[in-house]
């Protein structure tokens, strides 16, 4: 039996796919990278973007016509299990039923959307996509209930993994050659709150500093009002922790933030950015913005533009608002910003962000930056700086190697440079 996974959506989904692949590999079931040879296709769905849910629905029909068995997992599966069964899915597993994947592909389980928590076995390591950079879930679910978002309903309330279990997983990953670790969570900086024993992301990052083989630690996504001074101090005091904070503002208007049920004001958000920059002047900020939320006026949008100008994000994901079934916003608010207005605002914000990114990147031209190589594309190697800028350069360098690159050209996306030296870190 050959199983192929098609994954939609966020990093959490990508990691969930890795975990399911690990369970199958451990059970001796072949996981393949080419859908053409698959006996069974597992669609790991995302409910955040309408497109990915629709894509999954239409793919089921096409695969069934070709006689290929189909299973569905992920966020849309969690809330629409019966719909998927009706459309021909052989099994449907929710976000907390990853460990049922072996039974499901063997035809022993049809639906599992229960709330039970499963333990991640360290032996799942062989399911990881990348040899040197591993993603580690540290907290699942979300307690925030933003009105536009379905995640608290599909992934449940926040549940943090015990710190010692995570440290053991990172130690095991380091032994198998992983030298970059990204800690993942819908709200990664809420990590530990539910454990009520003083555990926090700051403490976890401090604890893993003892694991010297890991060159770089990343974490995402952070919720603005959960980011503590303690975390900022820990990042500042350890050179192996990324200087990039992904802190989605979603809007610059207090009125819209309130309608979204975001738990901070514009002033509090800007104050947080100032606190970060005061302690870590070289820090970069990433974010997400929703454009055209119900009732968003030109004035509200101007507030967003001015917030973007003030923060100067190194990366900003823009999404036009569209109501997601089952969310509070879809029930309470009319999607009343016309599509052409959303498009105009998207174009305006996108042009501004382009300008900002170009300016930020141009400051690096002529300078040498240190990157860890993550792959090759079109004959060039690429990797990321510690503040999360993508750098391409000529030459073949192994994944995971740390190199210095002199930047010769900047764009609003990646930077381009020349390899100047390979770096060997001496563990301290
Ligand atoms: S913080 Fe808001 S947007 Fe993020 S997962 Fe939770 S409810 Fe969704």
Question: Does residue 93 have its Cβ closer than 6 Å to ligand 1?
Answer: no
The C-alpha angle 226, 232, 235, rounded to 5 degrees, equals 125
CATH 3.80.30.20 residue ranges in the chain? 123-362
Closest-lying ligand 1 atom to the alpha carbon of residue 186? 5
Closest-lying ligand 1 atom to the alpha carbon of residue 221? 4
Q: How confident is the model at residue 297 (pLDDT cuts 50, 70, 90)?
A: very high
DSSP string, 223-236: PGGG--HHHHHHHH
CATH 2.40.50.140 residue ranges in the chain? 368-423
Three-state DSSP state, 213: coil
Q: In b/e form, how buried is each residue of 317-343, taking b as 16+ CB within 10 angstroms? A: ebbebeebeebbbbeebeeebeeebbe
Residue written as token pair 């296709």: 41
CA of 230 to the centre of ligand 1 (A): 23
The reported pLDDT for the residue numbered 126 is 65
Structure tokens at 338: 């016309």
- Convert the pLDDT of each residue in 320-345 to its tens digit: 999 988 899 999 999 999 999 999 99
The reported pLDDT for the residue numbered 277 is 97
CA of 144 to the centre of ligand 1 (A): 6
Structure tokens at 415: 């930077």
Task: Tell me the percentage of the chain whose pLDDT exceeds 70.
Answer: 95
Substitution candidate for ligand 1 out of 12, 137, 139, 151 with most atoms within 8 A of CB: 151
Substitution candidate for ligand 1 out of 152, 157, 227, 287 with most atoms within 8 A of CB: 152
The superfamily in CATH containing domain 2-112 is Methylthiotransferase, N-terminal domain (3.40.50.12160)
Query: How is residue 44 annotated by DSSP?
Result: E
Question: Does residue 142 have its Cβ closer than 6 Å to ligand 1?
Answer: yes
Substitution candidate for ligand 1 out of 142, 154, 185, 287 with most atoms within 8 A of CB: 142
The reported pLDDT for the residue numbered 58 is 86
Average pLDDT over residues 236-241: 97
How far is CA 185 from each of CA 151, 201, 389, rounded to the nearest angstrom?
A: 12, 11, 21
Quick one: which of 138, 133, 114, 135 has its CA closest to 7? Answer: 135
Substitution candidate for ligand 1 out of 140, 144, 224 with most atoms within 8 A of CB: 144
Least confident of 53-62, 188-197, 253-262: 53-62
CATH 3.40.50.12160 residue ranges in the chain? 2-112
* Alpha-carbon span 395 to 416, nearest angstrom: 12
Average pLDDT over residues 99-107: 92
The reported pLDDT for the residue numbered 428 is 44
8 A C-beta contact, residue 84 and residue 103 = no
* Alpha-carbon span 180 to 3, nearest angstrom: 28
pTM to 2 decimal places: 0.87
Average pLDDT over residues 280-296: 97
Question: Does residue 152 have its Cβ closer than 6 Å to ligand 1?
Answer: yes
Question: Does residue 13 have its Cβ closer than 6 Å to ligand 1?
Answer: no
Q: How confident is the model at residue 155 (pLDDT cuts 50, 70, 90)?
A: confident
Helices H / strands E in the chain, number of each:
14, 19
Question: Three-class SS string for 47-107?
Answer: CCCHHHHHHHHHHHHHHHHCCCEEEEEEHHHHHCHHHHHHCCCCEEECCCCHHHHHHHHCC
- Convert the pLDDT of each residue in 105-139 to its tens digit: 999 888 888 766 666 665 565 667 677 999 999 99
Question: Does residue 140 have its Cβ closer than 6 Å to ligand 1?
Answer: no
Q: Higher model confidence: residue 424 or residue 243?
A: 243
67 burial (CB, 10 Å; 0-12 / 13-18 / 19+) is exposed
Element (H, E) at 175: helix 163-175
Task: Tell me the percentage of the chain whose pLDDT exceeds 90.
Answer: 72
The reported pLDDT for the residue numbered 347 is 97
Average pLDDT over residues 228-247: 98
> What residues have CB less than 8 Å from 120, skipping those under 6 apart?
19, 137, 161, 165, 169
Separation of first and last alpha carbons in the chain: 47
* Shortest-distance Cα residue to atom 4 of ligand 1: 186
CA of 146 to the centre of ligand 1 (A): 5
Taking each helix axis as running N to C, give the angle between helix 229-237 and helix 266-279, from 0 to 180 degrees, rounded to the nearest 10: 30
Structure tokens at 427: 């563990």
The reported pLDDT for the residue numbered 122 is 56
Closest-lying ligand 1 atom to the alpha carbon of residue 250? 3
Three-state DSSP state, 273: helix
- Convert the pLDDT of each residue in 160-179 to its tens digit: 999 999 999 999 999 999 99
Three-state DSSP state, 2: strand
CA of 248 to the centre of ligand 1 (A): 10
CA of 141 to the centre of ligand 1 (A): 9
Tell me yes or no: is domain 123-362 CATH 3.80.30.20.
yes
- CB atoms near residue 7 (< 10 Å): 21
* Shortest-distance Cα residue to atom 1 of ligand 1: 144
Average pLDDT over residues 13-27: 89
Quick one: which of 123, 127, 154 has its CA closest to 141? Answer: 154
- CB atoms near residue 126 (< 10 Å): 12
Which top CATH class is 368-423?
mainly beta
Strand partners, 284: 244
Substitution candidate for ligand 1 out of 140, 186, 188, 261 with most atoms within 8 A of CB: 186
8 A C-beta contact, residue 225 and residue 273 = no
CA of 232 to the centre of ligand 1 (A): 22
């Amino acid at each position: 039996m050959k199983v192929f996974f098609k994954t939609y959506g966020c990093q959490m989904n990508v990691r969930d796919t890795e975990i399911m692949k690990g369970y199958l590999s451990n059970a001796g079931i072949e996981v393949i990278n080419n859908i053409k040879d698959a006996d069974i296709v597992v669609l790991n769905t995302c409910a955040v973007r309408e497109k990915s849910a629709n894509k999954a629905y239409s793919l089921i029909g096409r695969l069934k016509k070709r006689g290929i068995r189909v299973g569905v997992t992920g966020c849309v599966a969690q809330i629409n299990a019966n719909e998927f069964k009706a459309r021909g899915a052989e099994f449907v597993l929710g976000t907390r039923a990853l460990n049922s994947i072996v039974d499901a592909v063997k035809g022993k389980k049809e639906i599992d959307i229960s709330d039970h928590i499963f333990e991640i076995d360290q032996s799942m390591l062989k399911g990881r996509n990348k040899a040197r950079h591993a993603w580690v879930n540290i907290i699942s679910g979300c307690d925030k209930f933003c009105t536009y978002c379905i995640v608290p309903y599909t992934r449940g309330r926040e549940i943090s993994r015990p710190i010692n279990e995570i440290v053991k997983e990172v130690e095991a990953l380091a032994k198998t050659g992983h030298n970059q670790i990204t800690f993942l969570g819908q709200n990664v900086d809420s990590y530990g709150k539910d454990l009520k024993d003083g555990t926090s992301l700051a403490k976890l990052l401090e604890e893993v500093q003892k694991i010297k083989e890991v060159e770089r630690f990343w974490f995402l996504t952070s919720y603005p009002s959960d980011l503590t001074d303690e975390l900022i101090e820990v990042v500042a005091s350890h050179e192996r922790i990324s200087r990039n904070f992904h802190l989605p503002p979603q809007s610059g208007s207090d009125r819209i933030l309130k309608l979204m049920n975001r738990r901070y004001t514009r002033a509090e958000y800007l104050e947080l950015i100032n606190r970060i920059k005061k302690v870590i002047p070289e820090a970069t900020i990433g974010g997400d913005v929703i454009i055209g939320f119900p009732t968003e006026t030109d004035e509200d949008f101007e507030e967003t533009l001015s917030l973007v100008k003030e923060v100067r994000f190194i990366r900003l994901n823009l999404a036009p608002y569209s109501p997601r079934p089952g969310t509070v916003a879809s029930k309470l608010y009319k999607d009343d910003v016309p599509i052409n207005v959303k498009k105009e605002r998207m174009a305006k914000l996108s042009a501004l962000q382009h300008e900002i990114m170009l300016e930020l990147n141009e400051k690096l031209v002529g300078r040498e930056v240190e990157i860890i190589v993550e792959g090759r594309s079109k004959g060039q190697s690429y990797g990321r700086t510690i503040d999360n800028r993508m750098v391409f350069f000529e030459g073949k360098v192994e994944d995971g190697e740390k190199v210095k690159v002199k930047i010769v050209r900047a764009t609003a996306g990646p930077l381009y440079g020349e390899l100047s030296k390979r770096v060997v870190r001496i563990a301290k």
